[in-house]
Amino acid sequence: MSETARPRLGRTPLLLLIPGVIAALLLVVPMVALVLATPWGRLASQLTSPAVREALRLTVLASVLTVVLCLLLGTPLAWLLARVDFPGRSLLRAAVLVPLVLPPVVAGVALVTALGRTGLVGRPIDQAFGYTFPFTTTAVVIAHTFVSMPFYVLSVEGALRSSGEEYDAVAASLGADRWTTFRRITLPLALPGVIAGSALAWARSLGEFGATITFAGNFPGTTQTMPSLIYTQLQSDPLVARTVSMVLLSLSIGVLVLLRNQWLTRP
Amino acid sequence: MRVPTSRRLGVLTALLVLLPLAACGGGSGAGGERNAPSSITVLAASSLTGAFTELGKRFESENPGVSVKFAFDSSATLAQQAVGGAPADVLATADQKTMDSAQQVQLDEPKVFATNVMVLVTPADNPAGITSFSDLNTSSVKYVVCVPTAPCGSVGAALLEQNHITSDPVSTEVDVKSVLAKVTSGEADAGVVYKTDAIAAGDQVRTLPIPGTKSQVTTYPIVTLTQSKNTSLSQEFINLVTGPSGQQVLRQAGFGPP
What is the pLDDT averaged over residues A183-206?
A: 91
- Secondary structure class of A173 (helix, strand, coil): helix
Residue A234 has pLDDT above 90, yes or no: no
Supply the mean pLDDT for chain B.
85
| Higher-scoring residue by pLDDT: A145, B154 | A145
Q: Is the CB of B173 less than 8 angstroms away from the CB of A217? A: yes
Q: Is the CB of A116 less than 8 angstroms away from the CB of B186? A: yes
Q: Which of A54-63, A158-167, B114-123 has the lowest mean pLDDT?
A: A158-167
Domain identity same for B45 and B107: yes
Task: Output the pLDDT for position A223.
Answer: 94
Q: Which residue of B lies nearest to A136 if distances are taken between CA atoms?
A: B170
Domain identity same for B147 and B226: no
Counting the structural domains of chain B, the total is 2
- In which band, very low, low, confident or very high, does the pLDDT at B222 lie, cut at 50, 70 and 90? very high
How many CB pairs lie under 8 A apart between chains A and B?
A: 63
Domain identity same for B179 and B211: yes
Residue B89 has pLDDT above 70, yes or no: yes
| Residue B196 belongs to some domain of the structure | yes
- CATH number for the domain including B193? 3.40.190.10
Task: Output the pLDDT for position A5.
Answer: 57
Domain identity same for B134 and B194: yes
Residue B2 has pLDDT above 50, yes or no: no
Task: Output the pLDDT for position A11.
Answer: 87
Give the residue among B111, B166, B114, B117 at the shortest CA–CA distance from B143. Answer: B166
Task: Output the pLDDT for position A156.
Answer: 96
Task: Output the pLDDT for position A246.
Answer: 87
| Residue B165 belongs to some domain of the structure | yes
| Residue B19 belongs to some domain of the structure | no
Name the β-bridge partners of B45: B73
Domain identity same for B198 and B126: yes
Task: Output the pLDDT for position B71.
Answer: 93
User: Model's pTM, two decimal places?
Assistant: 0.78
Rounded Cα distance, A28 and B195, in Å: 45
Task: Output the pLDDT for position A47.
Answer: 78
Residue A265 has pLDDT above 80, yes or no: no
| Residue B23 belongs to some domain of the structure | no
Instruction: Report CA torsion sign: A104, A107, A113, A119.
Output: negative
- In which band, very low, low, confident or very high, does the pLDDT at A261 lie, cut at 50, 70 and 90? low
Give the residue among A125, A122, A103, A102 at the shortest CA–CA distance from A112. Answer: A122
| Higher-scoring residue by pLDDT: A157, B47 | A157
C-beta separation of B116 from B195 below 8 A: yes
CB interface of B with A, residues 135-164, below 8 Å? 142, 144, 147, 149-150
CB interface of B with A, residues 194-253, below 8 Å? none
Task: Output the pLDDT for position A262.
Answer: 58
Domain identity same for B99 and B227: yes
- Interface confidence, given as ipTM, is 0.72
Residue B32 has pLDDT above 60, yes or no: no
Domain identity same for B40 and B157: no
Domain identity same for B212 and B124: yes
Cα-based torsion angle of the residue sequence A42, A45, A47, A48 in order, rounded to the nearest 10 degrees: 180
Task: Output the pLDDT for position B16.
Answer: 47
Q: Is the CB of A234 less than 8 angstroms away from the CB of B187? A: no
Residue A88 has pLDDT above 80, yes or no: yes
Q: Which of B101, B145, B172, B176 to mutate to test the interface with A (most CBs of A within 10 A)?
A: B172
| Residue B16 belongs to some domain of the structure | no
Domain identity same for B90 and B134: no
Q: Is the CB of A236 less than 8 angstroms away from the CB of B172? A: no
Nearest to A232 among B142, B174, B186 (CB): B174
Domain identity same for B232 and B169: no
Domain identity same for B204 and B226: no
Supply the mean pLDDT for chain A.
88
Q: Which CATH architecture has domain A59-224?
A: Orthogonal Bundle (1.10)
What is the pLDDT averaged over residues A98-111?
A: 91
- In which band, very low, low, confident or very high, does the pLDDT at A76 lie, cut at 50, 70 and 90? very high
In chain A, what residues touch B169 (CB-CB under 8 Å)? 219
Nearest to B172 among A112, A218, A236 (CB): A218
Domain identity same for B110 and B134: no
CB interface of B with A, residues 46-75, below 8 Å? 74
Task: Output the pLDDT for position B132.
Answer: 94
Give the structural domain span for B191.
Answer: 118-216
Name the β-bridge partners of A198: none
At residue B120, φ and ψ (nearest 5 deg) are -100, 130
How far away is chain A from the Cα of B182, in angstroms, using its nearest Cα? 8
